[in-house]
Each structure stands twice: as C-alpha cells, then as structure tokens.
Structure 1
Amino acid sequence: MGFTSEDHEKFKELRLTPLAEKFEELIADESHDHQLPEEVFMAAVDHALDARRSNKVDRLIKQAKFPLPSASIAEIHYVPGRKLEESRMKRFATHQWRADTTNLMVISATGAGKTYLVCAIGIAACHTEHSVAYTRMDDLARKLLIARNDGVGHQDLLLKLCDVDLLIIDDFLTVGIDQNVASDLFAILAERENRLPTIIASQTDPSYWVQALPDRIAGDSIVNRLATNTRWIVLGNTDMRKLKHDEARAATDYWE
C-alpha cells in the first residue's frame, strides 16, 4: 500500500503530511505485519502528536529568549549550604503556571546561580506548554523606553508582557529605572496580579526595591504586588561559578 502524489497533496492541505509519512513508513515495515491496520494508524498518530508537541516546546523555548537555553531542573546542584530543596524543584518541573497565580521570588548573591535556576524553571514551563518570556531588568527598561517612541509598539510590548503565561524578570533593580519605566512596570504587574504569575530574580530584597524605585507610592505598590501571594527561594552563599570552575579543573580532560 502506498499513497499517490495526489494523496500527499491532500495531506499537505490538511497539514497531515508527517502523519501520512509515518503511516507509510510503519506499514512498509514487516515487523508491524501482525498488527491491525487501525493499530498501525494510531501508532502513526501518536508519533505525529509527539513530533508536533516537541516542535511546539522548541518554539516556546526559542521565543522565551533564555540566556541559558539548555538549563535543566534535572541538572541543578543541591550542594550543602545552597539552601535548595530537590523535592521542591521537582514540583516546579511539572508546575501548572496558568492554574496557579502565585509569584516566585529568587533572591541570592552574585554567582549563586539564580539565573540558571530561573532559566531551568522557565524551560520546564515550556515543556508543560506554557508561554514564557525571560528578560533582564536593564533590557526590559531599555525596550520600554524605546517603545515609548511608538505608541502601537509600546502597547504591543505591554500586552505581550501582561499576557504571557510566565514572566521572568532577572537582575531585578540591579540598575536604577526612571519614572516612565516604573510606571510601565506597575501597569504590567497590576494587570498580571491574581491572573498570571511572575518570577523575579534579584541580588536584593523588597526593602531595597522600595528605596530604589523613583516614586515611593508607586514603589510600595510594585513591591506589594510582587511580595504578596509569593513563594520564596533564598539561596545560600555558595558560589556556583567557582564550584563549576573547580569541577571543570578536576575533570580528567581539562587542560590549560
């Protein structure tokens, strides 16, 4: 049995080409001769669905623009002193972010691995088919300021940040922001509050954020929205950059 070129055109129009190709491959394989036609067909359907889901996950990861696109919860180090629970991280691997509006704050000193951690959580969210947007605070501030010169572009950016399933803002308030950016940040967080979760990674805590924001009233509102209905991960002082470097130097294939 085989499909004609006319059949393939029909499959293409229906966007079923991968399914048809896999079905042809399976029925041509003698090892499947003992199976009923419908069993072979459903195996092809499962394969096509898996491929479609894999493509979707790859697309979500690419769209999120993670700086560490290979970060994985499975590869997280749980060394003593890091104050990180493996069982808790495993729950994040399958977490349903759209169904839980609770924010996540990740606080740590420089080099403690907060960027890897939030990337790993974000990539896990992509694998559960959530849309994710990753940005550093300085990049976000720059994009918001530039977008203000284009009313439509500015609104589109705000809508994207408001509606993405999981928003990750790294290096939060590492650098100062002006009143306009603070106003946009307030609008984004106000729109997401009790609707969609946000992950914040920072070297500082809310007491500093209030002081660093240009307007005290807006600062109180922003911090309140972030710190309320929130889970916290406060990492220990383990220097993960140094640890990784030491591990690399200890490897048998390391050379200088």
Structure 2
Amino acid sequence: MAQAFQEQLELGYHQDLSFEERFGLLVDREAVIRDNRGLARRLRNARLKQQATLEDIDYKHPRNLDGKMVRALASCEWITEHLSLTITGPTGVGKTYIACAFAHQACRLGFSVHYAQVGKLLQELTLAKADGRYLKLLAQLARTDLVILDDWGLESPDTEQRRILLEILDDRYEKRSTLIASQFPTELWYDKLNDPTLADAILDRILHNSYKMQLKGESLRKNRRKLPHSESDKA
C-alpha cells in the first residue's frame, strides 16, 4: 500500500479521484499482492510434478475426457464438501497433468495441496517412524485440504505400508479431499493391495465418496515430435 501511495503522489493522475476512491485503489493493490504471494506459497508447498492448468488441458486427443465434468470440478466445491477424485487410465494419457491442473486450481482458490507419488510417500513415512517424525508428517497431511496420491498401485505396499496408507486415508475421510491417479482401473485396486482386510478398509474410505474419471486411448507421448535419426541409427 505504501508503494502504491508513493506512485499516486509521483504520477499525479489520481488527483481527480476522491479520498475513498484513492484509498480503494491502495487496498486493491495490497489485496492483489497478498493473493499472488499466497498462491506462490501454496504452489511451492504443493510440490507439483508438472506445471499444469485446467485452461491448458487438451480436449482434442481422444482419451474419453469429459469436458463438462472437468468444468464442473473446476469450482473445487468437491474439496469444500470433502469429496475425492480418482483418475484412472493407461500410461501416457495425461493423468498426472490433469491431477496437477486440479491441484493448481485448488491453490488458486486458497486450498492447501500436497502432491506425492505413493511409493515415495510410503517410504518417507516408513523412515519417519524410525526417527520420530512420523506423527508430525501424518498431522501435516491430515491438515492439507487436498492430497494427491499419484502412481497408485504401481508398487504393492508391504504390511507396514498398508497400515500407513490406511492411517492417511482414515484421517482424511469426510474431513479432507484426496485425488488418486492410477494406471490401473479401480476394480484391480483390491488385488494390488494384497491384503483382504486392509484392502476393504482402505478402499471403503476412497471409492464411496469419490468422483471417477476414467481415461482411455493411446499415449499423448506418441504425438510428440521424434528426434531425428543419428548416423549410428541409419547404419
């Protein structure tokens, strides 16, 4: 506000405005700066794998992406209502990009976000049990408005990791939102968890209050420009 006030004094083109109008401009400047700083901080803390926005999503590629659903979820009311979202589909159809785009939108609207690949997160939390950081990290996740669990099912968790996963999801159930991205359809998640009792408990906290986005089609990476053949390739 002080900087904006100095600009008013130096430039002088606000002299015809009333005190209330000039003061309103100062407040607007302060609000914009604070919003921008808040967004930058939330994006930094989110640690998103990709820089993505909903506006840049490609709807031309045939992958069963429902534009109406994306636009409906863009309001992030599902986060306010503590619902979740699952995005499934084969490798390369853009699951991570779409997940990060929703995360970016959530940050825009003031929600806290944390992105993690499931395998790495479980490894980190397993190590945290040994050095005393476990409860602190678990509490941080529980307070986060939206947690993204990417690459779900890529590695089968062991017994300890399944219990950790259940703790994470139990803390969030009907209190916070979770976005899960997986190359495996939800019908296979039960077998991937490899424990009937814990699988029932884990999936019960995910699938019954989630929007479901099922992508199909070929990898978008196939459309990328191929590098020219080297001399050795030609030989």
How far apart are residue 170 of structure 1 and its match?
0.4
How far apart are residue 196 of structure 1 and its match?
1.0
Structure 1 counterpart SS, 2:190:
helix
Is 1:32 the counterpart of 2:17? The answer is no
2:63 pairs with 70, 82, 101, which one? 82
Q: 1:65-104 counterparts in 2 under 5 A?
A: 65-68=47-50, 70-79=51-60, 81-104=62-85
**Relative contact order: is structure 1 or structure 2 higher (C-alpha 8 Å, sep ≥ 6)?**
2
The amino acid that maps onto 1:82 is R
How far apart are residue 97 of structure 1 and its match?
4.6
Match of 2:232 in 1: none
The amino acid that maps onto 1:93 is A
Normalising by structure 2, we get a TM-score of: 0.91
| CA deviation string 1:2-31 (max 9, x = no partner) | xxxxxxxxxxxxxxxxx1111121232222
Structure 2 residue ranges without an equivalent (≥5): 229-235
Match of 2:38 in 1: 56
* Residues 94-103 or 200-209, more deviating: 94-103
Query: How many residue pairs get matched?
Result: 228
Structure 1 residue ranges without an equivalent (≥5): 1-18, 250-256
8 A Cα contact 1:182 1:213, kept in partner: yes
How far apart are residue 246 of structure 1 and its match?
4.1
Is 1:129 the counterpart of 2:110? The answer is yes
2:120 pairs with 122, 139, 143, which one? 139
Structure 1 counterpart SS, 2:13:
helix
Distance 1:248 1:194, change over 3 A: farther
Tell me, in whole angstroms, the C-alpha distance in 1 between the residues paired with 2:81 and 2:44.
24
Q: 1:144-163 counterparts in 2 under 5 A?
A: 144-151=125-132, 153-163=133-143
| CA deviation string 1:51-77 (max 9, x = no partner) | 101110011001000011x20110101
| CA deviation string 1:184-235 (max 9, x = no partner) | 1101111211111110000112332211224210011111211111111001
Normalising by structure 1, we get a TM-score of: 0.84
Tell me, in whole angstroms, the C-alpha distance in 1 between the residues paired with 2:78 and 2:61.
29
Report sequence identity in percent: 29
Structure 2 counterpart SS, 1:87:
helix
The amino acid that maps onto 2:173 is E
CA RMSD of aligned residues (A): 1.8
Match of 1:23 in 2: 5
Tell me, in whole angstroms, the C-alpha distance in 2 between the residues paired with 1:73 and 1:192.
25
Tell me, in whole angstroms, the C-alpha distance in 2 between the residues paired with 1:125 and 1:183.
28
Q: Structure 1 stretches (4+) deviating beyond 6 angstroms?
A: none
| CA deviation string 1:113-137 (max 9, x = no partner) | 1000000000100000100000001
